[in-house]
């Protein structure tokens, strides 16, 4: 059984988790079960799974962290730095686009550099 393409074995519920969710390939860790019925949450995390897979996982986290640190220096605010990470830009832009991953081009996150 899947939740919009994410298989049940990939979903880990952790009610003490301090964020709504995080994708650590191949798993999606989520704070509250209600999130699983929220298409934008599922789409968002599914986009991150795709990004991580196409970067062979570790490079994703290296780029993610470096871009966050760069943004933190640039914006001086955690939330703005986070929202402007290239991978988050793609995920937030398309989390409400149904079937986005079916038409998404390989390495599509690269067009979100600015």
Residues engaged in binding Zn ion (CB under 5 A):
88, 91
- In the complex, what is the shortest distance from the CB of residue 1 to Zn ion, in angstroms, rounded to a whole number? 24
Cβ-based nearer residue to Zn ion, 1 or 58: 58
Cβ-based nearer residue to Zn ion, 1 or 22: 22
- In the complex, what is the shortest distance from the CB of residue 44 to Zn ion, in angstroms, rounded to a whole number? 5
**How far, in Å, CA of 91 to CA of 27, rounded?**
16
Contact 47, 94 (CB under 8 A): yes
* C-beta nearest to Zn ion: residue: 91
Cβ-based nearer residue to Zn ion, 36 or 91: 91
List the structure tokens of 112: 């979100």
- In the complex, what is the shortest distance from the CB of residue 47 to Zn ion, in angstroms, rounded to a whole number? 8
Residues 6 or more apart in contact with residue 63 via CB below 8 angstroms: 55, 86, 87
**How far, in Å, CA of 54 to CA of 103, rounded?**
15
């Amino acid at each position: 059984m899947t939740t919009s393409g994410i298989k049940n074995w990939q979903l880990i519920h952790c009610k003490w988790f301090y964020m709504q969710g995080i994708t650590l390939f191949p798993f999606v860790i989520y704070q509250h079960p209600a999130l699983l019925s929220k298409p934008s949450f599922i789409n968002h995390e599914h986009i991150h799974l795709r990004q991580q897979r196409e970067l062979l996982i570790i490079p994703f986290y290296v780029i993610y962290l470096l871009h966050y640190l760069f943004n933190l220096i640039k914006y001086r605010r955690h939330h703005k730095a986070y929202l402007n990470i290239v991978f988050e830009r793609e995920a937030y832009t398309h989390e409400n686009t149904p079937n986005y991953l079916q038409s998404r081009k390989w390495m599509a996150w690269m067009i979100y550099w600015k």
